[in-house]
Structure 1
Amino acid sequence: LPSVETLGSTTVICSDKTGTLTQNRMTVTHIYTDNVLVADDVVDTDAERLLVRIANLANDGKLSREGDRVQTLGDPTETALLDLGLKWGFYKDALDTEAPREAEIPFDSERKLMTTIHRDPSSGRLLVAVKGAMDEMLACCEQIHVRGQERALTDEDRERLNAAYLDMGGRALRVLAMAYKYIDALPAVVEPASVECGLTFVGMVGMIDPPREEVKVAVAECRAAGIRPVMITGDHKITATAIARSLGIMEEGNTVHTGVEVQSMSDDELRATAEHAAIFARVAPEHKVRIVKAFQERRNVVAMTGDGVNDAPALKLADIGVAMGITGTDVSKEAADVILTDDNFATIVSSVSEGRRIYDNLMKSIQFMLSTNLGEILVLFTAVICNMVTPLLPIHILWINLVTDSLPALALSVDPAARGIMRRKPIDPDQGILTRGFVIRIVLQSVLITALVLTAYHIGLRESIDVARTMTFAVLAFSQMTLIFSIRSGNENAFATLFSNGLLWGAILLVVVLMLGVMLIPALQSIFHVVSLTSTQWLWVGGLSMAAFVVSEIVKLFVRK
């Protein structure tokens, strides 16, 4: 609950791209080989078949067979490559049998490469299959495979490949490069330095992970609510920018920065950069900690999403750490404050709205309790100062506190969100509960209750002290029941949301029934020391009780003007 309340104060949401902003359903749509970019099902060349074979060998995904149906299992990126293989007639399980894996170097966020080594039956040698990020891959390649031939990779080739890579990124494609080489035997130590070098570049695959349809609306809600959405991704900045623009995250004046740039910045430079940053691309988990800290040092309340083990420090540092419920690791869930069961950015925005609603309802309950209790205190204090006969007995005060105060206040906790709650600025976390405006409202409402209750007391005193106390007790209880509708609507017209909280109406109805029982049943009258009232006195009770609501609404009308 405290975490949801803190979400109401959030000013920056740092979100992963894959699975949170997008659907996490990767599909290969383009292949680049032989210096040509084509749709994945247009041409069947030797280079393309080699590329798809490497993509399936350097892959930890699995195939599941149910009769004639073949299903891919594993990471969305890897299953997309397996689906591509199935389209070309490559079956992962058959490939693993044909070319068994002898060794591997798993993917990590620093190298951004994955390498597997296989026994190749056709050559009798070992095939090194490598897939990964284009920037890192090119640095490891010395040859290029073009139209069935291997030749040296020239500077002109590198420029051409980089241009194609940027073009694919500009189409919002996630790009993976493929390369290979043959070796005669496993090195003594299988490590990147000895294996991921002297490679032959084959080509690239471009995958699309469609943005979630609801995210664009959620991003617009964020901006209306004064919240900055920031994309943090491992993808290239060109790809990230294309997706961010389509979702409305990237706007005029926003900037894009890479993990390498973050690494080279001082804390002061990063803090200055955070003012306009909308995207951090090619980011490693350790960069996220510095990014969160930079936003916090600019007095932001930061929500950070994460799913991996390495994301735990950033999740812990953020004001609200949000772990992924579907793809998140146990470590990330332990470090987070909130677990997102559907891994959806729109749900975070809904949680912000819920946090604001909880905060609003807490403030309504506090305002109601303080206004009514201060009103009781002022009534008794005035009686003492003016040397009046005590207008309320202890049993009256006990009843008011236990019944007429508590039941409606509890019902306020489930009040629906106010209209326009996501068009307000975030709650200032440094702002105390008792702000100047809040205190003024409480004082005015308590003075209003005091005036109405003492008016009832003096009207009843014309008959007797028992009638005066009975009318005082009744007006104090019933005026609270009418005033609560003005309190719950804030500065808005109470009639706009008069019937939106059924539980509140139920609580008030229960209080009214109990009060009428106390006022009308003889046995209870003697216990509570009240007497029967005349119809005229009941009209005074009703009129004075309604006056609390009417006067409060008139004051709000002038405030709005």
Structure 2
Amino acid sequence: MGEVISLKKIGKTSRNYAQAELAQLYQKFETQPHGLTSAQAAARLQRFGPNTIQRTKKQSQFKQFLKNFTSLMAILLWISGLVAILTNTIELGIAIWCVNLINGCFSYYQQHAAQKATDSMLAMLPVFTQVYRDGQLQQLNATEIVPGDVFSIQAGDSVPVDARLLSATTFQVDESALTGESVPESKDVLYEPGEGQFAETNMIYAGTAAVSGKATALVLATGMQTEFGKIAALTHQQKKTLSPLQRELNRLTKQLSLIAFSIGIVFFIAALFFVHYTAAKAFIFALGLVVAFIPEGLLPTVTLSLAQGVKRMAKKHALVKELNSIETLGETTVICSDKTGTLTQNQMTITHVWTPLHDYQVTGQGYQINGKIMLDNQPLASATTSELEKLLLTAALDNDTKLELNQQDQSKNKLIGTPTEGALCALVGKAGIKLHTLQQKYPRLKEFPFDSRRKRMTTVHQTTNKTYLVLVKGALSDLLPKCTHLQFKEQAIPLDETHKRKINTANQDFAAQGLRSLGFAYKEISQDQVNLNELTLDAAESGLTFLGLTAMTDPPRPEAYKAVEMCRQAHIKIIMVTGDSPLTAKSVAQKIGITASEPRIVTGAELEKMSTDELSHALSGEIIFARVAPEQKYRIVSTLQDQGEIVAATGDGVNDAPALKKADIGVAMGKMGTDVAKDAADIILTDDNFASIVAAVEEGRAVYSNIQKFLLYILNSNVPEAVPSLLFLFSRGAIPLPLTVMQILTVDLGTDMLPALGLGSERAEPNVMQQPPRARDAHLLRRSIIWKAFGWYGLVASAVSALAYFFVNIQAGWPQQVLAASGPIYKEATTMTLAAIVFCQIAAVMNCRTQKESVFRIGLFSNHQILIGIIFEVALLSILIYTPILQEAFNTGAIGWQEWCMLLLIPIPLFLIEELRKMFSRKFFN
């Protein structure tokens, strides 16, 4: 990796290069204006390596495989199985190990499948670049570029390196991947610092893209030495800690292990002193209870729950790289969201056209052919507004955007140019004006390209009445001083101070709404009075007639409104963290509902001066961060985590990657996102849809809820498994053991497994997104679960199973006859105890499907996996009861139709009683 990159170093080298003299740079890089020779380039390729971005180093497949067998729960199961084998209960040990093996292989398969899908998305840098070698322009693979090369770039090309401009013609670059700024930066050979990081006018950076004009540039850095690469290196340094779910499962394992071994010790001592077992026999007896309280099915259920969530998310265009990411997102309390491309469409759209007569509202979004511009609720075609027609004429002709046609599918026609000029073309199209027809009618004769100093673009066109038409567009502050007249209806009138105040007020109103405005002006020059070849810039841009303004924005994604509202209902705070301007950020945040009141807006410059305590205090209220640098996004996420928040960070640019890696859950955009962002993230949205995050939150909450349901289910069966042993012990052996160790294992590793796994696939309850995220101090094994499992479900099941045991003995003559300790009656009695527990578990698995909601509302038969599990456990029970060889192994005996009638009646009242309890709970405790 080389040297460790400091957060503070990012961007500093580029600023030094931007201010250096070109002669110094040529000397430093031992190159010339026409580039390197092939020999020089080959030597440097050996020295600096290929122009590629290194990905995060990943564990070997073997280590990833072993990792699934070394969790705390897995280790406990390995030990339990070994102890069982050493104590001669070989069947028990093999069964536990098989569960562990199956679960580990299943987990590895799910993780490997997710990683494989992610790897297939990687496509880092452009394939080819025009580079000067041996004085000739050659097309080379971008990986072969070296420092000191000189290359050519034009609109539509990606920038493969960090470089200093040598020449530039109307050159603009989209730097949103680095800065989050949605509007392209104008670039020129002359140095100006610009606003924010990476804004030097004479520098271009890897990971960005040219959107207009053309340029040549000197390569200063390649690969991991670029600013793009430095941020990637910073991202790679971040170590992922255990997820909240992993930490909670470890805690749960310790708790259940403590309970199990404590019970084992108690029963071991009791067996020695109450029924005078030998130490070896007492140990086997206690071991059965220890195993009964260890949830062998916990890991398979967790894995299945996560895997089911992953599959459902894949259908909703979210690629999950690690299974635990789903559950972590369900715990999220704060989402730090990028703006451009995440909450917005990353597509500039004109919303208003302002002239001295009217403020026209543009309807529709995006590039629509059939859209109309509305004037006082009337289509433009019915209005006679000369100033609007001239403004649209200027927007169409004073424009370098080109349309790349797709002959097979016109909906896939591509505009090549800046987003601003593309929005102007869409505006003209919405008015029903044919761009190509206008260009033919008014051919361009001369142009004065846009540059960052004068902030204007001017073109000169031929007309049919022996005049030249001069069209100008640009920033109002620079354009208005060049105007002497104002277009009012069909005539030009002198531009006075009153008019200027009105124009500036309109411009300020648009700015207050977070809209970007652009001014338009024109003039006509007689061909007899001017020699076009001698027309200067100053002459062309003087004495202009002002036409009006357009106001544009990067509109929010339509689905973002509902997604933000769902986050608000789910008590999840959204903080916008963007490289865009404060006003634009505030406008978008208020429009889609992220902030309801006047939020505090903190810029990167302000954040730089804030202490940690000041930042923590600011984060407690409604806040927006604008013009922030990568290290500042990282700092915001870190501070939130220090406050105890579970943080999800979203983004698409390389500038987002450190924060994505640092966050508890990183969410990258799949379409517009850079590969560094995708590599750092835990989840990739293949449709760049912010709403998919909300769907993932719902899935995550469902996963955690399902784990709790499973926990309740298995703990419920532990009580009726333990009570028969208590009867045996406290009666000092007068009541023969109603349930054997192998029968306990039949429930834990046999009949309970499939229904429990079915609970892992249960969908989220209807009100899950109306609940706040679980508290950080809340745990899987809650008091409510313990009470419900031991004090309600468990006690009822214990009573029913004990009743079933005595039912058989009563039929055989008890209490007149002594309870049988062996023989057919004893086997039939223990079989009924086992069967009663199984049928109580049928009711329990249906009851555990919801916490408060009625099972009838979600659908009594909607979970097919649970239904299959119930059929399986009844079938397995029947096989154990009626198969002679298994009767001997599991101490079971055949039962008659009266017993079956009793068993079939057990689940119905248990299920209905719980439904009544839930109804009471909804009515009085909601």
TM class by smaller structure: 0.7 to 0.9
Partner of 1:333: 678
For 1:166, the aligned partner's letter is Q
Deviation per residue, 1:225-259 (Å, 9 max, x gap): 11123334444444444443332222136444444
For 1:146, the aligned partner's letter is C
Match of 1:457 among 805, 809, 834: 805
For 2:801, the aligned partner's letter is V
Contact 1:379 1:454 in 2 (8 A): yes
Map 1:206-245 → 2, pairs under 5 A: 206-245=551-590
For 1:10, the aligned partner's letter is T
Match of 1:469 among 809, 830, 842: 830
Pick which of 310-319 and 373-382 moved more. 373-382
Partner of 1:187: none
For 2:762, the aligned partner's letter is D
C-alpha displacement of 1:551: 5.3
Partner of 1:145: 482
Partner of 2:704: 359
| 2:852 is equivalent to residue 511 of structure 1 | no
Q: Which runs of 5+ in 1 are unaligned?
A: 106-112, 123-128, 150-154, 180-199
TM-score (norm 1): 0.76
For 1:393, the aligned partner's letter is T
| 2:22 is equivalent to residue 22 of structure 1 | no
Contact 1:7 1:352 in 2 (8 A): yes
C-alpha displacement of 1:346: 1.5
Deviation per residue, 1:334-380 (Å, 9 max, x gap): 11111111212211111111111111111111221232235423433
Give the structure with higher Rg (CA).
2
Are residues 486 and 76 of structure 1, via their aligned partners in 2, closer, same or farther at CA, if it must alter by over 3 Å? farther
Is the partner of 2:785 in helix, strand or coil? helix
C-alpha displacement of 1:470: 1.4
Partner of 1:428: 775
Deviation per residue, 1:95-154 (Å, 9 max, x gap): 9x988999999xxxxxxx9999999999xxxxxx998xx7xx96xx698432589xxxxx
Is the partner of 1:323 in helix, strand or coil? strand
For 1:168, the aligned partner's letter is F
Partner of 2:335: 13
Is the partner of 1:213 in helix, strand or coil? coil
Contact 2:342 2:652 in 1 (8 A): no
| 2:423 is equivalent to residue 80 of structure 1 | yes
TM-score (norm 2): 0.48
| 2:503 is equivalent to residue 173 of structure 1 | no
Q: Partners of 1:429 and 1:177 in 2: how far apart? A: 53
Q: Partners of 2:449 and 2:598 in 1: how far apart? A: 51
Contact 1:233 1:280 in 2 (8 A): yes
Are residues 80 and 422 of structure 1, via their aligned partners in 2, closer, same or farther at CA, if it must alter by over 3 Å? same
Match of 1:309 among 645, 648, 654: 654
Is the partner of 2:751 in helix, strand or coil? helix
Contact 1:357 1:418 in 2 (8 A): yes
Is the partner of 2:672 in helix, strand or coil? coil
C-alpha displacement of 1:6: 0.9
Are residues 82 and 557 of structure 1, via their aligned partners in 2, closer, same or farther at CA, if it must alter by over 3 Å? closer
| 2:738 is equivalent to residue 391 of structure 1 | yes
C-alpha displacement of 1:474: 0.7
For 1:401, the aligned partner's letter is D
Contact 1:23 1:210 in 2 (8 A): yes
Contact 1:257 1:280 in 2 (8 A): yes
Match of 2:895 among 512, 530, 533: 533
C-alpha displacement of 1:435: 2.2
Contact 1:230 1:279 in 2 (8 A): yes
Are residues 454 and 175 of structure 1, via their aligned partners in 2, closer, same or farther at CA, if it must alter by over 3 Å? farther
Q: Partners of 1:495 and 1:228 in 2: how far apart? A: 33
Are residues 157 and 274 of structure 1, via their aligned partners in 2, closer, same or farther at CA, if it must alter by over 3 Å? farther
C-alpha displacement of 1:424: 0.6
Partner of 1:440: 787
> How many residues of Structure 1 are paired with residues of Structure 2 in the alignment?
519
Are residues 353 and 159 of structure 1, via their aligned partners in 2, closer, same or farther at CA, if it must alter by over 3 Å? farther
Match of 1:247 among 574, 580, 592: 592
Q: Partners of 2:518 and 2:643 in 1: how far apart? A: 36
C-alpha displacement of 1:260: 4.1
Map 1:50-89 → 2, pairs under 5 A: 56-57=399-400, 63-64=404-405, 66=407, 71-73=413-415, 76-77=419-420, 79-81=422-424, 83=426, 89=435
Are residues 35 and 269 of structure 1, via their aligned partners in 2, closer, same or farther at CA, if it must alter by over 3 Å? farther
Are residues 517 and 76 of structure 1, via their aligned partners in 2, closer, same or farther at CA, if it must alter by over 3 Å? farther
For 2:759, the aligned partner's letter is L
Q: Partners of 1:369 and 1:130 in 2: how far apart? A: 72
Contact 2:752 2:873 in 1 (8 A): no
Q: Partners of 2:455 and 2:656 in 1: how far apart? A: 24
For 1:164, the aligned partner's letter is A
Q: Partners of 2:434 and 2:919 in 1: how far apart? A: 71
Partner of 2:751: 404
C-alpha displacement of 1:273: 1.8
Partner of 1:491: 852
Q: Partners of 2:508 and 2:634 in 1: how far apart? A: 28
- Pick 1 or 2: higher relative contact order, CA cutoff 8 A, min separation 6: 1
Q: Partners of 2:484 and 2:449 in 1: how far apart? A: 29
Q: Which runs of 5+ in 2 are unaligned?
A: 1-322, 362-372, 374-379, 463-471, 487-496, 522-543, 813-824
For 1:471, the aligned partner's letter is M
Deviation per residue, 1:378-406 (Å, 9 max, x gap): 43344234323222234423322232111
Are residues 385 and 144 of structure 1, via their aligned partners in 2, closer, same or farther at CA, if it must alter by over 3 Å? farther
Q: Partners of 1:527 and 1:296 in 2: how far apart? A: 54
Deviation per residue, 1:254-310 (Å, 9 max, x gap): 444444443443332222222222533444444423333343344322222111111
Map 1:42-191 → 2, pairs under 5 A: 43=387, 56-57=399-400, 63-64=404-405, 66=407, 71-73=413-415, 76-77=419-420, 79-81=422-424, 83=426, 89=435, 144-147=481-484, 163-170=505-512, 173-175=515-517
For 1:165, the aligned partner's letter is N
For 1:496, the aligned partner's letter is R
C-alpha displacement of 1:51: 6.9
Are residues 254 and 477 of structure 1, via their aligned partners in 2, closer, same or farther at CA, if it must alter by over 3 Å? same
Q: Partners of 2:391 and 2:482 in 1: how far apart? A: 7
For 1:461, the aligned partner's letter is N
For 2:404, the aligned partner's letter is L
Q: Partners of 2:593 and 2:834 in 1: how far apart? A: 58
Contact 1:100 1:118 in 2 (8 A): yes
Match of 1:415 among 753, 756, 762: 762
Are residues 377 and 31 of structure 1, via their aligned partners in 2, closer, same or farther at CA, if it must alter by over 3 Å? same
Deviation per residue, 1:498-547 (Å, 9 max, x gap): 33312211221222233234335666555644333233333433344555
Q: Partners of 1:264 and 1:130 in 2: how far apart? A: 38
Q: Partners of 1:156 and 1:210 in 2: how far apart? A: 33
Identity %: 36
Pick which of 8-17 and 307-316 moved more. 8-17
C-alpha displacement of 1:455: 2.3
Match of 1:4 among 312, 326, 336: 326
Are residues 379 and 118 of structure 1, via their aligned partners in 2, closer, same or farther at CA, if it must alter by over 3 Å? farther
| 2:292 is equivalent to residue 292 of structure 1 | no
Are residues 80 and 375 of structure 1, via their aligned partners in 2, closer, same or farther at CA, if it must alter by over 3 Å? farther
Cα-Cα RMSD: 4.6
Pick which of 385-394 and 418-427 moved more. 385-394
